[in-house]
Amino acid sequence: MRVGFIGLGNMGGPMCGHLVRAGFDVTAFDLDAAAVARLADVGARAGGSVGECARGADVLITMLPAPPHVEQVLLGEGGAIAALEPGSIAIDMSTSSTAVGARVVAAARARGVDVLDAPVAGQSIGAKAGSLAIYVGGSEAVFERARPLFEAMGDPKRIYHLGGNGAGYTV
C-alpha cells in the first residue's frame, strides 16, 4: 500500500515512522524540511510538496495543527484532494471540524476519492509508543481497508469505527 503522509510534527512524525517501520511504502511531507529529513532517515521517501506527496498514493494521511491547515492542505491551491486518484482514500487524523470535513468529503466525492476522519487521543506519548486511540468516521468498508494503517499507529483494541463521515470529529 502506497501511503502519503502530510504533517510530521510532534504527533505526525512518530505516527509516520510507525507506518514506515511496519513496511508501508511511505512518502512524507511537511513544511519543516528537517522533519521530512528525519522520516527519510528511517526509510520514508521525501515529498517536495503536498501534491507530490498525494500523487500516486493509495492512502493519504494528514495530521495537521488545526481546521484551517486541514482545509488548505486538502482543498487549497495545489491541494491533496485534486492530486489523489479515484479509488484512493484521504484520512484526516487532525483535530478538525465537521464543517471542514463536510467540504473535504464533497470535494473528494466529486473526484471518486473516499474520506475518513480519524482524530486521535493519547498525546505525543501515545504517538511515540504507537498506542493512540483512534476515532473513525466514514464508510465501514473504507475503514476496513484502512485498518492495517490504524493498527500500525494505534492500539488495535482502541480503534473505533463510529459511523459516517464526521462521527470521528464529533467524538
13-42 average pLDDT score:
98
Per-residue model confidence (pLDDT) at position 67: 97
Per-residue model confidence (pLDDT) at position 145: 98
Instruction: Output helix, strand, coil percentages for the chain, rounded to the nearest 5.
Output: 45, 25, 30
CB 65 within 8 A of CB 94: yes
pLDDT tens digits for range 59-102: 999 999 999 999 999 999 999 999 999 999 999 999 999 999 99
pLDDT tens digits for range 122-134: 999 999 999 999 9
CA angle 106, 136, 23 (to 5 degrees): 105
Mean pLDDT for the chain?
97
Model-level pTM? 0.97
44-68 average pLDDT score:
97
CATH code given to domain 2-170: 3.40.50.720
Per-residue model confidence (pLDDT) at position 49: 96
Closest CA to 47 of 3, 95, 113: 3
15-38 average pLDDT score:
98
Provide the pLDDT confidence category of residue 138 given band limits of 50, 70 and 90. very high
Residue ranges of domains in the chain: 2-170
